[in-house]
Amino acid sequence: MEEESFDEAVMGCQGVFHTASPVLKLTLDPKTEILEPAVQGTLNVLRSCKKNSCLKRVVFTSSSSAVRVRHDFDPQIPLDESSWSSLQLCETLQVWYALSKTMAEHAAWEFCKENGIDLVTVLPSFVVGPSLPPELCSTASDALGLLKGETERFKWHGRMGYVHIDDVATSHILVYENEKAKGRYLCSSTVVDNTELVSILITRYPSLSIPKSFDQLDRPYYEFNTSKLKKLGLNFKSIEEMFDDCIASLVEQGYLEGV
């Protein structure tokens, strides 16, 4: 949130990857804890980038939630990079993460257009795979809860896109190194609803306490068109590979037993 705090880190870099965004804790105020840091933090990074004469490209990690939170799309036509989430609908539904990512990406595009910065954005869906830090991030915690039979957090996912963390990393490298890469890139392997997901996981991991089903939420059906990223050479890993690597990591870190 502090202006010029990224100057030293950015100076001299040819490429800058802005991948972090706050995640709301349920007891906190969404405006001060997630919306303002997401937007102002992004702009602070970009203001530092503007001062760097060596800069060639900025890669910004947005989210598929900046595409799919809208009610005016045809469920028979997969969503692509031309789609933007509705700020009004995000606020009405109080989906603060989606609102923050949509606002931050809009702000990034506006700033970079005004200041002549070459920007490319990557929009991952729900990220699954091995976890590097000792403390689990929110997505890894959600996955762990599901594998242990908890449903409280995961039940709100409904229909969701999933992608392997390796593919997310690779996509960032591809859009940075490929000079012809332009605009937004959806990054998602498979879209499934909760019941489909647990059916796959129960078959693969029968010893875990995975819920057998979820209540069907009144959510619109959607798929993602990821052909733009595939044209750069990315071959997405399957949902089975995502959770195999996720589970192996959780076991190794001592979060999961009985596999």
User: How far, in Å, CA of 87 to CA of 247, rounded?
Assistant: 35
User: How far, in Å, CA of 114 to CA of 95, rounded?
Assistant: 29
Tokens standing for residue 182: 């332009």
Asked if 125 contacts 161 with a C-beta cutoff of 8 angstroms, the reply is: yes
User: How far, in Å, CA of 222 to CA of 13, rounded?
Assistant: 39
Query: 159-164 and 183-187: which strand pairing?
Result: unpaired
Give 107's Cβ-side CA count (13 Å radius).
Answer: 22
SS3 content of the chain, % helix, strand, coil (to 5): 45, 15, 45
User: Would you state the torsion angle of the CA atoms of residues 75, 78, 84, 85, taken in this order, to the nearest 10 degrees?
Assistant: 40
Residue 72 — φ and ψ, nearest 5°? -115, 35
> Cα separations (Å) of 80 from 144, 189, 228?
30, 13, 9
Question: Catalytic residue numbers?
Answer: 101
